[in-house]
């Protein structure tokens, strides 16, 4: 979250580690106009240290450069980083920043990879890192919710549910155990389960306005018995909850996240689509099944590049930046045993409910593709076979399939996993193996859940990516019944300045073309600033 400032030019802050106005190459530079005077900033830093403690006011060059790192072609360098640990501290910080006229950005855990990471939209902003505000305030088993602070990670909430032997499960994204829940919700991120449309499964935001007021969405603190605020999001009159998503209006410090009663049975399903006609028919079929409620989770259609993007041994066959040819992709499909399009989803309910849903899906896909259904038990049997039977070629291939399906089943079951982060690298895995060290730009337009519309969008943007020298892994995810988010990414060597510039230009051209087709991105990126 950042508050606009009248200028884009910022000086270095007073302090022995902040004397030079030039910052890390490729991260922008700070200049000597547009901010309060050096003495005024020094006074402000003393006041801020009085609120959060000197050790949590980070002004050193190394700290600023760490927060300036971005997977995007260019990041921004902050003026200072503040690390509050309480609502009271945030409420005291905000008036000080407003009085000084400083731009600010609040981050939960700073894992907004491919969209801006921990960077503000401009150099010289103040970063409020809420990672120390990581308390799980309450888990209510009866009403099915958790009250969490902004710094709580997916892994942290999952582990707490496990520790309690809870009958509830959470929705997770593929961003891994260390990623924030609140930050993702505020960006309208989505997962895999029936609660996959995450921003619609939350309530009772606690937030701090720029003048330091502490407010709540919905019924909030209006009643002595607060349960209704946790389970009914709207309150009376206008609801600011949506206004606080993807906005600069306030700092959200806490929210209530709804949890799903763990069903008697979870069944994964998958199908392969060999032709463009099958792909369009399958999109239509899933859209109708979603509208009827037969499928109530987020299905993910993945093209061949997305499906194989985490298969490091296959990607290693094609080093370099050349776009994969049709022959290359055919070879990868043969080796990986995947189709041009592959889909995965989940079914939830009692045994009889899941059985009925399977029958409905089989009927809907008759003549399109034969769905494969799998459960935790099936995966366990496959794992046993892989481990105990002789290592013939068929079992070697089965090992890869078993690992992939297990990773997917974890997500369907609300288990955060690091496995899917590998796909962000595609063919450009950094030596560190860390996401923040790869060049990564996510591009995610929204499209009606109609086969021809989805095909038209992909056929329009993929040639643009190829022309700029990028392959285009694609996932089509119907987050709601009537529309899908078409998630694509550009991966590149972050140390290649030319490739970084090409990625930025490619993003802008794809965005313009997608918008001309009526398909705006669902989530903004700092690359647009």
One domain, residues 164 and 306:
no
In a domain, 8, yes or no: no
CA pair distance 436, 457, nearest whole angstrom: 29
One domain, residues 211 and 287:
no
Query: Is there a contact between 382 and 274 (Cβ–Cβ < 8 Å)?
Result: no
Final residue in a domain of this structure, among 242, 260, 278: 260
| Complete edge-to-edge strand list for the sheet that includes strand 145-149 | 136-140, 145-149, 251-258, 202-208, 214-216
One domain, residues 145 and 110:
no
Query: Is there a contact between 383 and 402 (Cβ–Cβ < 8 Å)?
Result: yes
One domain, residues 98 and 208:
no
In a domain, 20, yes or no: no
* pTM, full prediction: 0.89
One domain, residues 99 and 193:
no
Three-class DSSP labels, 82-127: ECCCCHHHHHHHHHHHHHHCCCEEEECCCCCCCCCCCCCCCCCCEE
One domain, residues 140 and 199:
yes
Domain range for residue 47? Answer: 38-132
In a domain, 249, yes or no: yes
- For the chain, helix, strand, coil in percent to 5 are 40, 20, 45
**pLDDT tens track, the chain, 529 positions:** 333 332 333 333 333 333 222 233 233 333 334 678 889 999 999 999 999 999 999 999 999 999 999 999 999 999 999 999 999 999 999 999 999 999 999 999 999 999 999 999 999 999 999 999 999 999 999 999 999 999 999 999 999 999 999 999 999 999 999 999 999 999 999 999 999 999 999 999 999 999 999 999 999 876 555 689 999 999 888 889 999 999 989 999 999 999 999 999 999 999 999 999 999 999 999 999 999 999 999 999 999 999 998 888 888 898 888 999 999 999 999 999 899 999 999 999 999 999 999 999 999 999 999 999 998 887 777 666 666 666 655 545 555 555 667 888 999 999 999 888 888 888 888 888 888 889 999 999 999 999 999 999 999 999 999 999 999 999 999 999 999 999 999 999 989 999 999 999 999 999 999 999 999 999 988 888 7
| HSE-up (13 A, CA, CB side) for residue 450 | 5
One domain, residues 510 and 361:
yes
Q: What CATH code is carried by the domain that includes residue 327?
A: 3.40.462.10
Q: What CATH code is carried by the domain that includes residue 187?
A: 3.30.465.10
Query: Is there a contact between 396 and 386 (Cβ–Cβ < 8 Å)?
Result: no
Q: Specify the pLDDT at position 388.
A: 61
In a domain, 395, yes or no: yes
Question: Is 350 exposed, middle or buried (CB count within 10 Å of its CB: 0-12, 13-18, 19+)?
Answer: exposed
Total domain count, the chain: 3
Final residue in a domain of this structure, among 74, 100, 132: 132
CA pair distance 15, 375, nearest whole angstrom: 58
In a domain, 383, yes or no: yes
One domain, residues 108 and 249:
no
Q: Specify the pLDDT at position 423.
A: 80
In a domain, 31, yes or no: no
In a domain, 26, yes or no: no
One domain, residues 338 and 207:
no
One domain, residues 174 and 223:
yes
In a domain, 366, yes or no: yes
Structure tokens given for 290:
């979603």
One domain, residues 192 and 288:
no
């Amino acid at each position: 979250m950042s508050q606009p400032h009248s200028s884009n030019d910022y000086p270095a802050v007073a302090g022995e580690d902040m004397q030079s106005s030039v910052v890390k190459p490729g991260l922008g530079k700070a200049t000597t106009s547009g901010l309060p005077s050096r003495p005024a900033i020094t006074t402000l830093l003393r006041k801020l240290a009085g609120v959060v403690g000197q050790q949590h006011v980070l002004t050193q060059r190394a700290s600023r450069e760490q927060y300036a790192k971005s997977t995007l072609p260019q990041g921004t360098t902050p003026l200072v980083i503040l690390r509050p640990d309480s609502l009271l501290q945030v409420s005291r910080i905000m008036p000080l920043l407003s009085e000084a006229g400083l731009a600010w950005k609040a981050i939960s855990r700073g894992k907004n990879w491919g969209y801006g990471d921990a960077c503000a939209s401009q150099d010289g902003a103040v970063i409020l890192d809420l990672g120390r505000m990581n308390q799980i305030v309450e888990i209510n088993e009866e009403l099915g919710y958790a009250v969490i602070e902004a710094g709580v990670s997916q892994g942290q909430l999952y582990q707490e549910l496990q520790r309690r032997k809870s009958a509830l499960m959470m929705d997770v994204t593929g961003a891994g155990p260390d990623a924030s829940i609140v930050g993702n919700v505020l960006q309208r991120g989505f997962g895999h389960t029936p609660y996959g449309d995450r921003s619609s499964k939350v309530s009772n935001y606690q937030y701090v306005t720029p003048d330091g007021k502490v407010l709540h969405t919905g019924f909030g603190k209006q009643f002595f018995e607060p349960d209704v605020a946790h389970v009914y999001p709207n309150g009376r009159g206008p609801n600011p909850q949506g206004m606080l998503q993807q906005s600069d209006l306030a700092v959200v410090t806490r929210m209530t996240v709804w949890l799903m009663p763990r069903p008697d049975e979870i069944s994964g399903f998958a199908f392969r689509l060999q032709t463009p006609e099958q792909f369009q028919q399958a999109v239509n079929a899933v859209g109708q099944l979603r509208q009827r409620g037969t499928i109530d989770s987020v299905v993910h259609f993945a093209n061949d590049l997305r499906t194989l993007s985490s298969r490091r041994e296959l990607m290693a066959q094609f080093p370099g930046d050349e776009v994969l040819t049709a022959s290359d992709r055919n070879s990868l499909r043969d080796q990986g045993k995947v189709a041009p399009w592959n889909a995965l989803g989940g079914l939830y309910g009692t045994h009889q409910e899941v059985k009925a849903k399977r029958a409905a899906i089989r009927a809907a896909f008759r003549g399109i593709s034969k769905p494969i259904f799998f459960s935790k038990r099936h995966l366990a049997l496959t794992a046993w076979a892989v481990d105990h039977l002789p290592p013939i070629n068929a079992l070697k291939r089965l090992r890869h399939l078993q690992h992939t399906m297990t990773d997917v089943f974890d997500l369907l079951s609300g288990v955060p996993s690091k496995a899917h982060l590998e796909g962000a690298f595609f063919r450009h895995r950094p030596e560190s193996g860390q996401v923040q060290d790869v060049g990564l730009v996510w591009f995610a337009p929204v499209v009606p859940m109609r086969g021809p519309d989805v095909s038209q969008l992909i056929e329009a943007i993929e040639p643009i990516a190829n022309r700029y020298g990028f392959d285009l892994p694609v996932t089509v995810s119907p987050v709601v019944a009537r529309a899908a988010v078409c998630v694509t990414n550009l991966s590149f060597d972050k140390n290649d300045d030319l490739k970084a510039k090409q990625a930025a230009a490619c993003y802008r051209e794809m965005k313009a073309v997608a918008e001309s087709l009526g398909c705006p991105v669902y989530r903004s990126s700092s690359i647009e600033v």
